[in-house]
Amino acid sequence: MGGMELTWYGRTCIRLRGKDAVVVNDPYPSIVGPTGRGITGDVITFSHPDDAPHPKKATNLSRDGGTAIPSSLESAFVLDGPGEYEVRDVLLTGVRTYRDGARGAERGRQTAFVTELDGIHTIHLGDIGHELTEEKLADIGRVEVACVPIGGALSATKAAALVAQLDPKIVVPMTVCEDDAECEEALRTFLHEMGAEPAVQPRLSVTPSSLPPETTTVLLEPRGRV
């Protein structure tokens, strides 16, 4: 089983395992617990500070201080802002985005991360709340896999429009709402917009040669839910 392996842990927590490194996006203690449920990784990215800080016995992030790092990931290299980075031969690009359609005025700023692993460019859109400008699309560049939040500030229709802008080969929806019923409704609308009713699978393995010719939606089961 070659290729990059993508696993979803619920909300916006995604783990990308390449042959040389593991990148974990948004491993908030509120999703994976203070011990990280055994998630390990070389690099972790946070799109925004944790909405539910866990102060107890946790090591805070160096910069924003608003996010505790799960203990299983304390040795990982942490990125939580825009810029171009190379860590353990992995190229990561953080792009300034917002959690609303008002340049962060309502819900704050955030960072979307593009990770290049095993020849696959994956964008983790975090909790984005808007479509992208030409300039942002140029910063992002080509992506093969897009992890898109569903049920947050971004309507399902806008989420589909954002996917069309990015034109990835694979879309991984991440349901982010508090309310399961609301999330199901948003996901249904999104899948309808995407014209797909995919089967749910435990994880995604992808290589440059196995990419589908057309944009394909892949529904993953969240690892974190017991």
pTM: 0.95
Mean local confidence (pLDDT), 160-172: 98
Length of the chain: 226
Residues 162 and 65: their CA atoms lie apart, in Å, by 30
Q: How confident is the model at residue 58 (pLDDT cuts 50, 70, 90)?
A: low
Q: How confident is the model at residue 196 (pLDDT cuts 50, 70, 90)?
A: confident
Q: What pLDDT does 56 receive?
A: 59
Sheet with 83-87: strands ordered across:
83-87, 90-98, 109-117, 120-124, 145-150, 170-175, 216-217
Q: What pLDDT does 226 receive?
A: 43
Q: Which tokens go with 96?
A: 């300034």
| pLDDT cut 90: percent of the chain above it | 80
Q: What pLDDT does 106 receive?
A: 95
Task: Give residue-wise pLDDT tens across range 90-136.
Answer: 999 999 999 999 999 999 999 999 999 999 999 999 999 999 999 99
Residues 118 and 78: their CA atoms lie apart, in Å, by 20
Q: Which residues of 110-136 are buried (b: 16+ CB within 10 A; e: fewer)?
A: bbbbbbbbbebbbbbbbbbbbbbeeee
Q: Domain residues of the chain, as ranges?
A: 4-220
For 4-220, give the CATH class: alpha beta
